[in-house]
Amino acid sequence: MRTAFAVSLLAGAAGLVPPAAASEASDRAALEALDIRYQAAVKANDAATMAAILHDDFVLIGGRGQTSDKAALLEEARAARTVYERQDASERSVRVWGDTGVVTARLWLKGRTDGAPFEYRLWYSDTYARTPQGWRYVLGQASLRLPEPP
């Protein structure tokens, strides 16, 4: 990913790619890195990093329609009731439209909540908005749990 990013920046600087395309490539790279950082913070119950990335008006919508806000996610991380063995995203795609970006990925979760084991996969879409403070995670939506792999 770093190589592709560097190539797009060099191509843009050389005039081979329109400036908007180079900017979009750098935004996609920044959003992918930020989403990876956020997922790692969730796995580690790192409330400070989560707080820095989440917008104050953040909302998460689960597959059954339940909602959580920034305060609820940070409290959950601080309580550390969930210990993750896996919080692995794959099939990640990043799209950018001006000051809005969406990261979509398949997530494999495995761990324990209050000692009870869990393991499942789902799809998520994380929406980011460019703010004066940089990109912030404003809206998350998760699918229902996916069927178990064969």
pTM of the predicted model, to two decimals?
Answer: 0.82
The reported pLDDT for the residue numbered 146 is 95
Q: Are 108 and 90 in contact (CB under 8 A)?
A: yes
The reported pLDDT for the residue numbered 15 is 40
Other Cβ atoms within 10 Å of 77 Cβ, number: 20
Task: Considering the domain delimited by 2-142, tell me its CATH architecture.
Answer: Roll (3.10)
The residue extents of the domains of the chain are 2-142
The upper half-sphere exposure of residue 143, i.e. CA atoms within 13 Å in the direction of its Cβ, equals 15
pLDDT tens per residue across all 150 residues of the chain: 444 444 444 444 444 444 555 598 999 999 999 999 999 999 999 999 999 999 999 999 999 999 999 999 999 999 999 999 999 999 999 999 999 999 999 999 999 999 999 999 999 999 999 999 999 999 999 999 999 877
